[in-house]
Structure 1
Amino acid sequence: MISLNIIICEDKQEYIKEVSRIVKLLFDNSDIKYSINTFNNYEETINYIESLDSYEDCLYILDIDLKQDKNGLLLGREIRDIDDYKGEMIYITAYIHQMSSVFKYKLRILDFLDKGYNMENDLKEALKTYLKIYRHRIENKALLFKVGTDVIMVKPSDIIWIETDKHKKKIIMHTTTEQISINLTLKEIQEKLTEEFIQIHRCIIVNKEHIKKIEYINEDLYVVLTGDIKEIISKRREKEVRACILQ
């Protein structure tokens, strides 16, 4: 399931708590799944961001004055070198006169907020704007599935493989973060998928982007997926799977 990653970097603990409170207040009233990761220095923030696999679901909320050799503007510049402008960025600072520097560093930010003037209201408005942008983007890219009374959204790139549940008339979708059980047949879900997916067995579909290699185990051929998951390839699908590996 799609999950928004909110990354806060601020050197003062009281502001980390306040910004986190405002974020929770807004997002707890939305249907967006999210996590908050907070940091009070440049190095820890960059190390965390470099460890991520994807940046489209990242929202960075940054301070400019980090009381370090490298300030928040340099942090923003390095983030942009890493995420290639895929995430969104908000600055909250007491140094509002530095707004022009944002353009100098070519950061492409969503908003620039003054800590000393109506910060809570301004941050809420910025987050509401972000939610509109985020919803529009995921609704155009995500796959939507009904699970019980809920409708969930899943990015195709997050799906590693899909298999038939042999004991129930369901499929199990394995993503990078969780397993999702859905009341569909493999044929029905295949109609929703893009060309990035390939059926390797009568009860298994895999995401080509997550295929690391193919290998023999005894006399059977398997795909090795992200996370060292191994799934068997049927004899009749072998030629097609080999062809997609060579593309």
Structure 2
Amino acid sequence: MIHIYLCEDDNRQLTRWKTVIEKYLLMNSTESQLYCTVSKPEELLAMRKKSEITGLYFLDIDLQAEKNGIELAQEIRKYDPRGYIVFITTHSEMAVLTFRYKVEAMDFIIKDNVKTLPEQICACIKNAENNYRAQLDSSKRLLSVKIDKANLVLDQDDIIAITTSEDYHKIIIHTKNGTRQMAGSLKEFKATLNSTFCQCSRSSIVNLKHVLKYSRDEALLTMDNKETYSVSIRMMGKVQRALKQI
């Protein structure tokens, strides 16, 4: 998942960026979310501090504030060293400063190019998602699932649990942001998951990274999103051993 941040002091421009991104997210199968739409650097940084998710940042350079966009980018790097930063501005001459301040901008978009701006914004989102997918793949955290003829990329670290559905041959993926139902079986998905997952019953596989508490007496796992999952007698030993290794 990628959280998308916008920071632009001109409300008309900010609304335009927001509309372009919302349309992209609606038309594409993606877990990316428009997370923050603000006009002040301090507001963006406050939101950034609340999240542990990789961000894609579209920043104006001249923000009419104590911090300009480049200085804001420097602050962002303290909290999100691998995030993707894109500057959108009328000041093309300031592009060289992004290198001097070592903020590692992914792109630099000129506002004056009104006709191509939407296409450039969407291209940045696609590039960020492709890079993010490659990072997940290299760290064995990538899970690609098919939903309605589209492939959806998930970060396995974001998955709380996978359970069977009441609908025949369907499973439910529980994530930090809700649930998704799709065709498949626990057996099929289990083969694609990394070692942080453990089956705790015939109907549930949990991500041990999200276990908040295990009650042996109640045979119950409490997850950090407050969901609970029963542990079958047959799986108790396996679950206890797996928890000690996390």
Match in the other structure for 2:15: 17
**Partner residue in 2 for 1:237:** 235
Alpha-carbon separation, structure 2, partners of 1:68 and 1:136: 32
Q: Which residue of 1 aligns with 2:84?
A: 88
Cα distance in structure 1, aligned partners of 2:23 and 2:183? 33
- The one-letter code sitting in structure 1 at the alignment partner of 2:157 is S
Tell me, yes or no, if structure 1 residue 106 matches structure 2 residue 105. no
The answer to whether the 8 A contact 1:111-1:126 is kept is no
Q: Which residue of 1 aligns with 2:38?
A: 39
Work out whether residues 172 and 182 of structure 2, in 8 Å CA contact, stay in contact via their aligned partners in 1. yes
Q: Which amino acid aligns with 1:65?
A: D
Q: Which digits, 9 at most, give the CA deviation of each residue in 1:16-59, with x for residues without a partner?
A: 1232344355555544455433100011111111112311xx32
Provide structure 2 residue ranges, at least 5 long, that are not aligned to the other structure.
none
Mark the CA change 1:198 to 1:83 in structure 2 (over 3 Å): closer, same or farther: same
- 3-state SS in 1 of match to 2:130: helix
Deviations 1:177-226 (A, max 9, x none): 1222233222121112121211112221101221122124xx32222212
Aligned length: 239
Q: TM-score, normalised by structure 1?
A: 0.83
Contact 1:5 1:34 in 2 (8 A): yes
RMSD: 2.6
Query: In 2 relative to 1, CA 246–165 (structure 1 residues): closer, same or farther, beyond 3 Å?
Result: same
Cα pair 1:113 1:119 within 8 Å, conserved: no
CA distance in 2, matches of 1:231, 1:200: 8
Partner of 1:118: 113
Counterpart contact for 1:172–1:181, Cα < 8 Å: yes
Structure-2 separation of matches of 1:184 and 1:19: 37
Give the structure 2 partner of residue 187 of structure 1: 187
**What SS does the corresponding residue of 1:69 show, helix, strand or coil?**
coil
More displaced 10-residue stretch of structure 1: 175-184 or 160-169: 160-169
Deviation at 1:162, TM superposition (A): 1.3
Q: In the alignment, what sits opposite 1:64? A: 61
